[in-house]
Amino acid sequence: MLDGLNIDPIAFTIPIGGGFPIYWYGIIVTIGIAVGVIWGAREIARRGQNVDEFFNGLIVVIFSGYIFARLTYVLLEVFGGRGDQFQSFLDVINIRSGGINILGGFIGAAVVGWLYIRWRKLNFWHYADVAGPALLIAQGIGRWGNFINQELYGPPTTRPWGILIDAPYRLPQFADLTQYPLETRFHPTFLYESIWLILGFFVLVTLNSRFRDKWQPGTLFGIFLIWWGAGRAFLEFFRPDQPTIGSSPITYSFLMAVTLVLAGIWIVLKRNNRAPQIFGRRRQRVLKPKPRRQID
């Protein structure tokens, strides 16, 4: 189905020094972020919030997100016993070499964003409601950069929509061309996730347009966490590139995704005063009746 789309990962080269290559991956990710930002800026204005603060915070959140995404990837590779590639600090921070974990990046960016919004004394939940759909469309578009790089694919499949992977881009477990010849097709995990994310964007935008003035701020963000986390948790079973916990089929990213789902459920309930009392109800003070004065 996608066999005709065979694109060189390098879009063009800037003639600086020995040549500075610009990759399609970076271009596509940038386009995705731009689409998310355009929608987010318009929506934050509709909510009566400060658009300038949105852009200022966005710069901080995007950069911190990439840093945390890279660090999370490195840590998971080390925990999974595949950390030999990181021999120096430059190897750890070199994002251009590939390897980021979007879930770890999101968690780190969310914490930094919360600190920034608290410092600026803004309404956190309005900005969170906008960030959710914006992230879905940005990542949904950005996943096509993984396709060009021939990464983010699943196990072999006989389905007609399976994709071909050239030998240099094969994962170690699929590198044996006698067992997995060049005609072997693999699950296009990037496509599954892209469809799920873009569909989620339109679902959340529709809900937002209908219930913006009815729902408590933060409800949309909670639904975003449920949608995003559930999809990612399912797709982890199609990700042979992810480090697992010991010899189990459970990956660290699966646990993070499930945590996002649970957090989303709690936020939706909490923002609508339906969350259960986790630590029990406060003991209400019992007023003792005053003793009646006796009249002698």
130-184: per-residue pLDDT in tens?
Answer: 999 999 999 999 999 999 999 999 999 999 999 999 999 999 999 999 999 999 9
Model pLDDT, residue 11 = 92
Model pLDDT, residue 282 = 53
Model pLDDT, residue 248 = 86
Domain extents in the chain: 125-274
The whole-angstrom separation of Cα 76 and Cα 82 is 9
| Residue 259, CA atoms < 13 Å, CB-side half-sphere | 10
What distances in angstroms separate CA 59 from CA 52, 53, 110, 295, one per listed residue? 11, 10, 13, 76
Model pLDDT, residue 127 = 96
The whole-angstrom separation of Cα 205 and Cα 284 is 42
What is the three-state SS of the chain? CCCCCCCCCEEEEECCCCCEEEEHHHHHHHHHHHHHHHHHHHHHHHCCCCHHHHHHHHHHHHHHHHHHHHHHHHHHHHHCCCCCCCCCHHHHHCHHHCCCCHHHHHHHHHHHHHHHHHHHCCCHHHHHHHHHHHHHHHHHHHHHHHHHCCCCCCCECCCCCCEECCHHHCCHHHCCCCCCCCCCEECCHHHHHHHHHHHHHHHHHHHHHHHCCCCCCCHHHHHHHHHHHHHHHHHHHHCCCCCECCCCCCEHHHHHHHHHHHHHHHHHHHHCCCCCCCCCCCCCCCCCCCCCCCCC
How do the pLDDT tens digits run along the chain, 296 residues long? 687 778 889 998 998 877 888 999 999 999 999 999 999 999 999 999 999 999 999 999 999 998 899 888 888 877 766 666 777 777 777 766 667 888 899 999 999 999 999 999 999 999 999 999 999 999 999 999 999 999 999 999 999 999 999 999 999 999 999 999 999 999 999 999 999 999 999 999 999 999 999 999 999 999 999 999 999 999 998 899 888 888 888 999 999 999 999 999 999 999 998 877 655 555 555 555 656 555 54
Model pLDDT, residue 74 = 84
Which residues, in sequence order, are CB contacts of 12 under 8 Å at separation 6+?
21, 22
Model pLDDT, residue 296 = 46
The whole-angstrom separation of Cα 23 and Cα 13 is 9
The whole-angstrom separation of Cα 294 and Cα 154 is 86
